[in-house]
Amino acid sequence: MAIILTQNGTAKNKSLHHPFRAYLRTISPMTQHQPDQDPQNFRIDRNGVWFHDDRPISRESLVKLFAERGLKRDSQGRYWLQSPFEKYAVEVEDVPFILVAYEIKNDALTFTTNLGERVTVSEEHPLELRSYPAAKGRIPYIHVRDGLYARVNRTVYYDLLSKYGAELTLGGRTYSLAEEENDE
C-alpha cells in the first residue's frame, strides 16, 4: 500500500493492484533475451479480445495497461508483452486493435479503437487496404503506433461505404475505403 498526498494536503491510500504497473512505465527497447519456453499463454483474437491461458482477460483496465504500455512488435512481425524484466510472446490472429467508431470533423477522419484509443488518419497514421480472410476484398486498416495496426470492424466499414462509397475525400486528400470491383 502507498500513501498519496493530494494537492489539498489530505492523504489517501493507493493500493498497487498491478505489480506490472510500476515498471511498465519504463519499458525499454526489446533487447532482452527471447524466452525459449514461454510459460505464459497470451493471445489476441481477430475481434481484439485478449486471452491468457485460453480465458478472456475480463479486466478492461488490465488489457488497456498491457496494450498501451507493454505490447510491442519486433522487426520480424512477432508480438510481445514486454516489461523491463520480462518478455512474453503474444499470438495475434490478425491485428491487436479493432476500429469500432469513427468521426469526421474539420476535414479529419478519426477512429476509436476497441480500447478507447483515438487515431486520426494522417501521414503518421496512414489508412491502407489489406486482405482479411473474413472479407471478400481488401478492407481498411490504420497504423496506430509502433508497428501496431487496427482493422475496421464490419459495422464501421459498411457505414463508411454506405455514406461515402469506395473513396472518401477530406481536406484535399482521397482515402480508399474499398477496392473497385472488376467485372472480368
Q: Is 58 inside any structural domain?
A: yes
Q: What CATH number is associated with residue 158? A: 2.30.270.10
Same domain, 113 and 165: yes
Same domain, 107 and 151: yes
Same domain, 102 and 168: yes
Q: Is 124 inside any structural domain?
A: yes
Q: Is 68 inside any structural domain?
A: yes
pLDDT in tens, the chain (184 residues): 444 444 554 445 454 445 555 544 444 444 444 554 455 689 999 999 999 999 999 999 999 999 999 999 999 999 999 888 888 999 999 999 999 999 999 999 999 999 999 999 988 998 999 988 777 788 899 999 999 999 999 999 999 999 999 998 888 888 889 876 554 4
Same domain, 70 and 108: no
Q: What is the pLDDT of residue 184?
A: 45
Q: Is 11 inside any structural domain?
A: no
Residue-range definition of the domain harbouring residue 62: 18-26+38-93
CA–CA separation, 51 vs 63, rounded Å? Answer: 9
Q: What CATH number is associated with residue 49? A: 3.10.540.10
Same domain, 124 and 161: yes
Query: How many structural domains does the chain have?
Result: 2
Same domain, 45 and 62: yes
Same domain, 55 and 112: no
